[in-house]
Amino acid sequence: MNKILIAISIAVLFTLALSLPLDSISGREKSEETAEYGNHYEGDMLLNKDQLDALSSPERNGLINEKYRWPNKTVPYQLSANHTKEQQDYIEVGLKTLESVSCLKFVRRTNETQFVNLTGEADGCYSSIGFQNKSQNLNLQKYEPGSGCFRLGTIMHEFLHALGFYHMQSAYDRDDYVEIKWDNITPGMEHNFNKYNSSVVTHFNTTYDYESVMHYGAFGFSKNGNATIVPTDGDLGKIGQREGLSKKDIWKLNLMYECENTVEPEPEPEPEY
């Protein structure tokens, strides 16, 4: 009898899986993304007043403004005692990775008053945008290394925010590359899909990057398990990842901080007529 019940259960689950739309999110994908889709601006960004003003005023600059770049290409940071030694080590792997592809330096804080203060509060992963000229928090909720806020790509994602990067899908030309499925977005969360004026965000002379570690996944802020961001060609598998930096991420980071570039982004394919 137990074998029959198990067989029936498997059959039911298989049928339900087949009935899911192709743009629906799996349970694993949802749990992997949840940590970045919190209650801050666009889920994980802490904006100061000038940056909030820049959202409505094209006369102000955000990421383009050089006052948000770290002086001397050096970022002091302070680890949190709330993180385990294993988690601290994983953070430093992410920082060493950023150092390895740029001329930036991440150094343990001694007596600096302008630094990134790592915290481990239980409310997701988030960061200020760019240099704040004071102590600024970067929160990584405690997860096992390799999951949640402690995916290596997520650690670098949050530190790229701290270095001055916004989300990829906020770009002024994003509608040429992705379609926002407004009907699938959790009510009240639509602002997380705003675009920035071209005076606020720049591609640094590169093209739109589906593979950027700064791109939302397809299901960010979904109310129903269906995709909220769909590439214009419908290929959900190619947007957003938290495994590592894309070539264009590295290219833009080095242009922003005037480092010698060690990679060249692949050229866009010629349009078909």
The angle formed by the CA atoms of residues 214, 217 and 223, to the nearest 5 degrees, is: 130
Catalytic residue among 86, 144, 158, 270: 158
Q: Which residues pair with 107 in a beta bridge?
A: 76
Strand partners, 127: 45, 138
Q: For tokens 């959202």, what's the residue?
A: 55
Q: Is 232 left (phi over 0), alpha (psi -120 to 50) or beta?
A: alpha
Cα–Cα distance for residue pair 46/205, rounded to 1 Å? 26
One DSSP character per residue, 126-182 reads EEESS--SS-EEEEE----TTSGGGSHHHHHHHHHHHHT---GGGSTTGGGTEEE-G
Whether 243 is a known active-site residue: answer: no
Selection from 209, 97, 77, 219 nearest residue 153 by Cα: 97
| Whether 165 contacts 63, CB under 8 Å | yes
* Residues catalogued as catalytic: 158
